[in-house]
C-alpha cells in the first residue's frame, strides 16, 4: 500500500507528463481518481511542479482548482502571488498576498513581501496604510519599507528620521551576529544604507553623503574621490580663500605659501599652497603629507581635502608618469596660447596633457 504523499506524487507526475507547449494544461484525470480529500493537495502540488518548471499558465490553471477547494490555505495563496507576479499580474499577486498576510498577521517577511508588491505597483499610500499601524513592532525590515514609501511620497525628512536609527541598529547587530546570520542581515543593512544615502543626497546634495559617512567612521581613507566629495561639500559653506585667481607657476605658488607659514606654521591655507606646488611638480608623496597636515590643521578647509583627494588619485593612477608618455612637438603652434592662456606657466607634464587634449583640433 502506498501512503498518501506517495499516491499524490504519482498522480502529479502523470498529470504533468503531457505538458510540453506553453498553452498545454495538466491532465487532471489521475488527480480526480484520487480520494476527494487528496484533491486540494494534489492540485497544489501540480501547480508547484509546473511553477518550478516555469510553466506559469498551466500552473495558474491548476492552482485555481486547488484554491477552489482550499481558499484559505496559506501556502496556496502564497504560490498564487508568486505565479501572478511571474505572469505580470501584480494586482492579482497583491490580492493573493493580502490573504496570506491576513492569515499570518505577525509574519514580518510576508508583510514585507506584500509591501514590495505594492511599491512595485506604485500603491504607496497602501504601503503606508499597511505599515504605519505596525510601527509598535519595531521591526527594522518593515521600518525600512515604510521609510522607502514615505520617501516615494515626498516625505523625505520623515523617511530619514526612520532610517537613521535603523542603520545604527544594523551596524550594531552586524558586530554581534555569527557568520551564518551575518550575510542575510548585511544585505538588509546595505539596502537601508543605500536608501538613506539616496534620500540624504536628494535633500542635502550628493556631497553630503560623504560627510555623513565620515561622521560614522565609514569613509574609505584610501579613496581620493571621498576626499574630493567632502571638499566639495565643505566648499558650499566656505568663504573665498583664494588670494590670486590667475594660475601661477608652481614655484611662485610655493613661495606665497611659505610666506604664510612663516607667520603661522600650521596655517592650512599656507600648507595648501605648498601642497599644490608639490603636486603639480610631481612630488606626490610630499604633497600628500602636506595636504594631510592641512586637513589636520583645519577640518573645514575644503581646499585641503580637495588637494588630498587629488594627491591620492595621482598616486593611485601614476598620473605624472603616464603624462610623460605624451609627446610634445619640437615647435608648438603659436595659436595655442590664445586657446590656453595659462600655457606659459604649466609644468612639463601639464603641457603634455594639454597638447594631447587639443592636438586633434589643430587641423580644424
Indicate whether this model's pTM tops 0.85: no
pLDDT tens digits along 12-41: 999 999 888 878 899 999 999 999 999 999
Q: Which residue shows C-alpha cell 520617501? A: 151
Residue 256: exposure state from Cβ atoms within 10 A (0-12, 13-18, ≥19):
middle
- What's the length of the chain? 364
Contact (CB, 8 A) for 108 and 141: yes
pLDDT tens digits along 266-320: 999 999 999 999 999 999 999 999 999 998 999 888 899 889 989 998 988 888 8
Contact (CB, 8 A) for 54 and 46: no
Interaxial angle between packed helices 250-263 and 268-281, expressed in degrees from 0 to 180 and rounded to the nearest 10: 160
Tell me the pLDDT band of 207, cut-offs 50, 70 and 90: low
**From CA 294, how far away is CA 288, in angstroms rounded?**
10
Contacts 24+ apart (CB under 8 A), 128-136: 128/153
pLDDT tens digits along 109-128: 999 999 999 999 999 999 99
**From CA 266, how far away is CA 230, in angstroms rounded?**
21
Alpha helices by DSSP H, the chain = 4-16, 29-32, 39-52, 56-69, 74-86, 90-103, 108-120, 124-131, 140-152, 156-174, 179-204, 207-215, 224-236, 250-263, 268-281, 284-297, 302-317, 319-323, 336-339, 348-358
How many angstroms from the chain centroid is the CA of residue 293?
A: 33
Amino acid at each position: 500500500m502506498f501512503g498518501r504523499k506517495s499516491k499524490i506524487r504519482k498522480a502529479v507526475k502523470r498529470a504533468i507528463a503531457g505538458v510540453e507547449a506553453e498553452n498545454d494544461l495538466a491532465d487532471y484525470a489521475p488527480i480526480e481518481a484520487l480520494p476527494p480529500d487528496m484533491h486540494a493537495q494534489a492540485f497544489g502540488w501540480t501547480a508547484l511542479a509546473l511553477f518550478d518548471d516555469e510553466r506559469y499558465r498551466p500552473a495558474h490553471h491548476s492552482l485555481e482548482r486547488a484554491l477552489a477547494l482550499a481558499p484559505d490555505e496559506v501556502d496556496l495563496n502564497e504560490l498564487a502571488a508568486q505565479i501572478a507576479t511571474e505572469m505580470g499580474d501584480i494586482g492579482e499577486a497583491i490580492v493573493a498576498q493580502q490573504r496570506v498576510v491576513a492569515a499570518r498577521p505577525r509574519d514580518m517577511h510576508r508583510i514585507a513581501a506584500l509591501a514590495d508588491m505594492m511599491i512595485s505597483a506604485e500603491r504607496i499610500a497602501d504601503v503606508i496604510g499597511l505599515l504605519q499601524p505596525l510601527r509598535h513592532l519595531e521591526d527594522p525590515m518593515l521600518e525600512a519599507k515604510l521609510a522607502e514609501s514615505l520617501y516615494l511620497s515626498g516625505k523625505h525628512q520623515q523617511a530619514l528620521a526612520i532610517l537613521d536609527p535603523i542603520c545604527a541598529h544594523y551596524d550594531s547587530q552586524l558586530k554581534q551576529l555569527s557568520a551564518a546570520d551575518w550575510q542575510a542581515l548585511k544585505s538588509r543593512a546595505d539596502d537601508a544604507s543605500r536608501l538613506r544615502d539616496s534620500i540624504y543626497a536628494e535633500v542635502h546634495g550628493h556631497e553630503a553623503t560623504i560627510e555623513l559617512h565620515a561622521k560614522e567612521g565609514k569613509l574609505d581613507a584610501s579613496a581620493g574621490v571621498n576626499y574630493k566629495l567632502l571638499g566639495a561639500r565643505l566648499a558650499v559653506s566656505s568663504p573665498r580663500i583664494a588670494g590670486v585667481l590667475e594660475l601661477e607657476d608652481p614655484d611662485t605658488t610655493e613661495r606665497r605659501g611659505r610666506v604664510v607659514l612663516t607667520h603661522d606654521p600650521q596655517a592650512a591655507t599656507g600648507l595648501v599652497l605648498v601642497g599644490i606646488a608639490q603636486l603639480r611638480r610631481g612630488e606626490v608623496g610630499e604633497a600628500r603629507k602636506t595636504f594631510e597636515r592641512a586637513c589636520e590643521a583645519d577640518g573645514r578647509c575644503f581646499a585641503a581635502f580637495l588637494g588630498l583627494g587629488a594627491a591620492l588619485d595621482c598616486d593611485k593612477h601614476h598620473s605624472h608618469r603616464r603624462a610623460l608618455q605624451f609627446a610634445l612637438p619640437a615647435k608648438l603652434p603659436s595659436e595655442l596660447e590664445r586657446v590656453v592662456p595659462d600655457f606659459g606657466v604649466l609644468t612639463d607634464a601639464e603641457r603634455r596633457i594639454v597638447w594631447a587634449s587639443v592636438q586633434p583640433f589643430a587641423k580644424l
